Structure 1
Amino acid sequence: QICRRHYSMMTSVADAAQMALKECQKQFETERWNCSTPPQPRRHRRSVFGRELLSGTRERSFVYALSSAAVAYAITRDCSLGNIVGCGCDQTWPQRAPFNQSFDWGGCSDNIRWGVEMSKLFVDAQEYERVNLNNNKFGREAILSGMGKKCRCHGISNSCESMTCWRTLPSFRKVGRILKRSYSTAVQVHIVKKYGRYLLRPRDRDRRSVGNRYLAFLRMSSDFCATTGRTCDADKSGPSGCDVMCCGRGYVIKTSYVTAKCGCKFSWCCDVTCKSCNETRVEYVC
């Protein structure tokens, strides 16, 4: 019913799914868990990321937050482009900025409030797990916290006697980075029932609450050591380093020879000429 009622948004929602997948793989490309999408029998396909996301792990918290953010982002973007029926610029910003600011709000601010509300409608519609709802909201808040501002000057000869500004979406890459940092500080929780409500409580008793300030997860992740065939960096000691990436199993060195363009020069007008050079490439593979 939601999809039929908001049919003009379905392209945005589908695009959001692809955005979330690509950004997840970008943020984790140098780690053991790299947001891979293993093949699964259709009858068992509850998540494109496999069974790991069905078990309440830290990785699941990230994917839920990122997916919720992607839906809000895509709907807001397409709303500003005029591709969605029934929405437009955000008119709720005050017409004048605070007294200590030298600009006025104007132009067409990206309607992030609309995008957030529509994300709630789509993403939270059939969700009952308290942890997932917390992480969905956290993802939407990441966009709100990353909203930017663009301005245009007005005046004779570009004197900028006055300035009009409007709110703009951050890049989705920035949203991904915000959530990746939050993934590192996610809090393990358990669920308690109090006064008829289900609440999240940190397993670490030194923490007072989770609120909406942290991603939350229920269970510790596996070691993700099925990394045979993954490339690694022999000179690094972090997640992308061979010792960590290969889980201590060692790695092999693969050498390949390729032909690449080199010594490119611009010729007036208008051509670029390049030489062909032979290069030796070395890869370290778990």
Structure 2
Amino acid sequence: FTQGFVDVRERERNYKRGSMKQGRQLMNLHNNEAGRRAVIRKTRVNCKCHGVSGSCSLITCWQQLAPFREIGDLLKDKYDGATEVKINRRGKLQVKHAQFNVPTGEDLVYLHESPDYCKRNNTVGSLGTQERICNKSSEGMDGCGLLCCGRGYNSQKVTVRERCHCKFHWCCFVECKTCVRVVDLHTCK
């Protein structure tokens, strides 16, 4: 079902054999299949016993999808190890650099390097990460170490005014006080 649904837009187009458009079409179809295989690979079989006092006289089993995060982590690992390919004159994808292995149906492939999102790039609409607010204590995507792309960050103390000590009055309004606090603000260099 998913193959017919996800791949339909790619399969309904006929591009010139060996063209870049056909290359993108084949890349998308390959990666769609790799995504389906990742979902299948992470699918689990769950079983439940039925019977008097846990006798398990009848077992019901079913397949269950893994949590979305688990599938996403697997695909992220595959993205990090994706193989660069090119389209040949016969209209087939082939490995761009001969020293690399031919990708399996579970591997992801790409035709072009991704743009550097650390730097401003008007062509792809990326503002870069310079002057972006980052979280000094985070090791995740919002952390200064990752978000600032190794350029470091500036820190400053900022006074923030915010609503606080809010109370609901019958009927029907909320009254708040204004609190002032000083916070550390970190921005990418």
TM-score (norm 1): 0.45
Q: Which residue of 2 aligns with 1:151?
A: 47
User: Contact between 2:133 and 2:185, CA under 8 Å: does it hold in 1?
Assistant: yes
The question of 1:170 aligning with 2:72 is answered no
- Unaligned 5+ segments in structure 2 are 15-21, 119-127, 166-178
Q: Which residue of 1 aligns with 2:113?
A: 220
Alignment partners' CA distance in 1, 2:60 and 2:148: 53
The question of 1:118 aligning with 2:5 is answered yes
Output aligned runs, 1:1-286, within 5 Å: 114-121=1-8, 124-126=11-13, 128=22, 129-193=25-89, 197-225=90-118, 226-234=128-136, 241-242=143-144, 244-247=146-149, 249-254=151-156, 255=158, 281-286=183-188
Amino acid at match of 2:97: D
Structure in which a larger fraction of residues adopt strand: 2
Deviation at 1:183, TM superposition (A): 0.9
Give the fraction of aligned pairs with identical amino acids, expressed as a percent: 31
1:115–1:133 Cα change, 3 Å = closer
1:281–1:118 Cα change, 3 Å = same
User: Contact between 2:38 and 2:106, CA under 8 Å: does it hold in 1?
Assistant: no
Deviation at 1:236, TM superposition (A): 6.9
1:217–1:176 Cα change, 3 Å = same
Deviation at 1:248, TM superposition (A): 5.0
How many equivalent pairs are there? 155
Spell out, residue by residue over 1:173-197, the C-alpha distance to the aligned partner (whole angstroms, 9 max, x if none). Answer: 222222111111111112223xxx4
DSSP-derived class of the 1:219 partner: coil
- Unaligned 5+ segments in structure 1 are 1-113, 262-276
User: Contact between 2:33 and 2:106, CA under 8 Å: does it hold in 1?
Assistant: no
Deviation at 1:139, TM superposition (A): 1.5
Alignment partners' CA distance in 1, 2:164 and 2:43: 41
1:199–1:259 Cα change, 3 Å = same
1:241–1:204 Cα change, 3 Å = farther
Deviation at 1:123, TM superposition (A): 5.8
1:239–1:164 Cα change, 3 Å = closer
Deviation at 1:215, TM superposition (A): 0.9
User: Contact between 2:35 and 2:106, CA under 8 Å: does it hold in 1?
Assistant: no
DSSP-derived class of the 1:198 partner: coil
Q: Which residue of 1 aligns with 2:170?
A: none
Deviation at 1:237, TM superposition (A): 7.8
Deviation at 1:283, TM superposition (A): 3.7
TM-score (norm 2): 0.64
CA RMSD of aligned residues (A): 3.3
Spell out, residue by residue over 1:152-175, the C-alpha distance to the aligned partner (whole angstroms, 9 max, x if none). Answer: 211111222331101122222222
User: Contact between 2:43 and 2:66, CA under 8 Å: does it hold in 1?
Assistant: yes
